[in-house]
């Protein structure tokens, strides 16, 4: 059973985050079947609290149904 990537969190993961360093973009995907080494999986709570690091942008590749706060940071 997988759990949220955040330390000490045992909630079921909700989204997958992939940090794409060459473009400073964080891809947001639905959970994949297997966790990849460069992926982070957050539960709903941690996802809602998540803010991209300075200079990074979020690219939500899921269906546009969930996020009220999709935003992009200007580079
Ligand atoms: Zn969590």
Residues 4, 69: Cα–Cα separation, whole Å: 21
Q: Residue 8 has which token pair?
A: 């000490």
CA of 2 to the centre of ligand 1 (A): 11
Does residue 75 sit within a domain? no
CA of 8 to the centre of ligand 1 (A): 8
Does residue 25 sit within a domain? yes
pLDDT of 68 over the 70 cut: no
Does residue 48 sit within a domain? yes
CA of 75 to the centre of ligand 1 (A): 28
CA of 41 to the centre of ligand 1 (A): 8
First to last CA, the chain: 37
Residues 8, 11: Cα–Cα separation, whole Å: 9
pLDDT of 65 over the 90 cut: no
Does residue 53 sit within a domain? yes
Does residue 67 sit within a domain? no
Supply the range of the domain harboring residue 49.
Answer: 15-60
CA of 31 to the centre of ligand 1 (A): 14
Report the domain count for the chain: 1
The 10s digit of each residue's pLDDT in 5-57 is 998 999 999 999 999 999 999 999 988 788 778 899 999 999 999 999 999 99
- Please spell the DSSP secondary structure of 35-68, one letter per residue: --TTEEEE-HHHHHH--PPTT-EEEE-S-TTS-S
For the whole model, what pTM was predicted? 0.73
Supply the pLDDT for residue 2.
Answer: 85
């Amino acid at each position: 059973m997988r759990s949220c990537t955040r330390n000490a969190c045992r909630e079921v993961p909700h989204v997958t985050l992939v940090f794409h360093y060459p473009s400073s973009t964080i891809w947001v995907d639905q959970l994949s079947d297997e966790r990849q080494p460069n992926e982070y999986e957050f539960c709903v709570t941690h996802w809602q609290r998540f803010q991209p690091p300075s200079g990074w942008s979020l690219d939500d590749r899921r269906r546009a149904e969930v996020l009220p706060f999709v935003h992009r940071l200007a580079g």
